[in-house]
Chains A and B, each alone.
Chain A
Amino acid sequence: MSEVLTAETWIGMGVAVVMFWGVASWAMIRTFRQEEKKISIVEDQRRIDTYSPNALEDLREWIHSRPDDPDVEVAREQYNECVDVLKSADHRFYDWSDDEVESLERL
């Protein structure tokens, strides 16, 4: 087979396999591992941190910038719930440092 295939065809096949099957496999494995970790944390302490540091910061900014939005209370609840879990839980899902958690306050 290889005698008909040029180096460029091999590159094309390699890119296709890596970029499609590689990325899809990475995404699937990563999401299953995260699922496993989430289940383990929820089973252990019944609650889990729901936002990463960047995402929680974005949420806080949005709450401050949209005080009149009909969903701002829902957003505040989501924010405070995450802060409460981070401050009280032993295990965290996202990569929060102790200093970052320490600096968080309820809204």
Chain B
Amino acid sequence: MSNESAKTARAEWGTRFGFLMAMIGAMVGVGNIWRFPFVTGENGGGAFILAFLILLFLIMIPGLIAEVALGRYAGKGVIGSIREATGSGTAVGLGLIVIIVNIALMSYYSPVIGWTLYYMLHSFMFTFTGAEFEAGAFLGDLFADPLTMFALHTVVMGLIAAILYLGITKGVERVVVYAVPALVIALAAIAIRALTLPGASEGLAFTFNVEWEFLLMASTWQEALAQALFSTGLGWGIAITVGSYLREYDDVPLGGGVFTAVGEASIGVLAAFAIFPLVFAFGVDPATGAGLTFEALPQVFMEMSAGGLWAIVFFTGFFLAAITSGLVITEVGVTTVAEETRLSRGKAVLAVCGLIWLIGIPSAYSPDILEFGDDTFALWGLPLATIAILIAVGWFMGPEKLRVLSVNQNSGIYVGRWWNVAVKYVVPVVMAAIMVAFAIDFYGADIMIAGMVVIVLVPIVSFAVMKYVEGNREAPTTAEPTGGDD
């Protein structure tokens, strides 16, 4: 809470709506569109939804509240916020862990955004309804063209840099307040069209049929946990950063916790009503997974009446879902670099976007490298970063202190002491269990070895760097370690 002059000079969300859309825009990404409906259908439908909801309220909402509240309490980016929680010193490396994971994740997410941009542009050229169009060959040609992939990655990072350069309210907020509602409208329009197709009910039955016996299977809960973790954006540093721009009288738990977690999952439910009826109506295999969006759906649009227009609606929405996530993910690094160095915001934007662009070149060049990076950082990097944040809040700062000073200040709902237990014990233990489960699943595989390297190397590098940096800080802007409270 120190450094008040810097805090008051800081940007703020112009509206409550802007804050909420930034949170939703960041969390809703490619996975919500295809993964949620598919995983739901594969794991007992309604039974999976129940398991997912329980985990959402038990783990994800408390975790999100912790991150947003820490950001609001500190009024700083990730490293500054972690420093407020741990005090100056080596432990600030917990924040650098989050930044490293965030930048690594964004480096391969940028090429994926590039693919959505490519498909959106082609939808406007009515490529998918052309007589010669063949979906598999189209995607294969794109992947076999490194120059185009590199150009798309470059354009995406250039676009993100241009928007972020404008700042929080004039850049990020101005985009998300239009893009997120546009995404919802696009999906709703497709849902209405899809539900009127013959055979659509097969898709609904696949996703929503309740098979209660699945609640007794460990795999259902593991899948629900993985879905909840990867879709709610815990550990990316997004919630800390977005929360740090909250206004004085804004609430944390209702908007930053409940609305964000349930709202972003609602997009997945909407996608279930939009995509799977469409997929089943045209006899496409729902198990296509991520390829569903880039390989299977273009075939569907080809067969639909006015399919060219529906392709525009879908791929525009899909691009918006991807680019809003990319914007806010990148803002995490920009905010932190601008605060922790002497760079201006403009130079910080250039530095962070340039770094992500550089690291992302191999992923843009090869989808195999991209997939390997995704498996490594999504499976081990994200839980590691989440644990890093929660160690700072739960074990250095103490959750009760954050709860009384930030979570419940100006809050729209009262958060009781149960939250302390969730943040200090439940969420970190669950995250650690997830990493162990993945290690067992991939035991001996390259991904597992790479994951272990991430788990060991990223913290070592982070703590070493921050030990040096903190030791050379001219004027610490925060108090010394505050200690835990329970």
Contacts and interface: CB of A to CB of B under 8 A. Distances in A.
B404 A62 contact: yes
A32 to B, nearest CB: 7
Interface string B409-450: 111101011000000000000000000000000000000000
A13 to B, nearest CB: 5
Contact of A31 (B16, B45, B50, B417): B16
Contacts of A70: 479-480, 482
Contact of A12 (B46, B201, B251, B258): B46
Contacts of A71: 1, 401, 405, 479, 482
Contacts of B269: 16-17, 20-21
Interface stretch (B129-137, B146-154, B203-211, B284-292): B203-211
Q: What's the dominant secondary structure at chain A's contact region?
A: helix
B83 interface: no
A31 B412 contact: yes
A19 B427 CA distance: 22
Contacts of A69: 401, 482-483, 485
What bracket does the count of chain A residues touching chain B fall in?
35 or more
A82 to B, nearest CB: 9
Interface string A55-69: 100110010011001
A60 B410 CA distance: 16
Contacts of B270: 21
B306 to A, nearest CB: 21
B296 interface: no
Interface residues of B, number: 50
Contacts of B201: 1-5
A44 interface: no
B458 to A, nearest CB: 30
Contacts of B207: 12
B210 A12 contact: yes
A65 to B, nearest CB: 8
Interface string B253-272: 01100110011011001101
A50 B410 contact: yes
Contacts of A65: 485
Interface in B208-259: 208-210, 249, 251, 254-255, 258-259
B404 A9 contact: no
Contacts of B320: none
A80 interface: no
A5 to B, nearest CB: 5
Nearest to B255: A31
Interface string B174-218: 000000000000000000000100001110110111100000000
A27 B1 CA distance: 28
A8 B209 contact: yes
A2 B204 CA distance: 11
Interface string B394-407: 00000011011100
Interface string A17-61: 101110110011011101100100010000010111011001100
A52 B414 CA distance: 8
B195 A1 contact: yes
A24 B262 contact: yes
Contacts of A28: 20, 259, 263
A75 B482 CA distance: 13
A74 interface: yes
Contacts of A34: 251, 254, 412
Contacts of B255: 27, 31
Interface string B102-143: 000000000000000000000000000000000000000000
A67 B229 CA distance: 37
Contacts of A5: 201, 204-205
Interface of A: 1-6, 8-9, 11-13, 15-17, 19-21, 23-24, 27-28, 30-32, 34-35, 38, 42, 48, 50-52, 54-55, 58-59, 62, 65-66, 69-71, 74-75, 78
5 contacts: A9-B210, A20-B266, A30-B412, A59-B408, A62-B485
Given A9-B204, A15-B49, A31-B259, 16 more contacts: A1-B195, A1-B200, A12-B45, A16-B208, A20-B269, A27-B262, A30-B254, A52-B411, A54-B416, A55-B408, A55-B411, A62-B401, A66-B485, A69-B482, A75-B404, A78-B405
Which 3 pairs, one residue from A and one from B, show the smallest C-beta to C-beta distance?
A12-B46, A12-B208, A55-B408
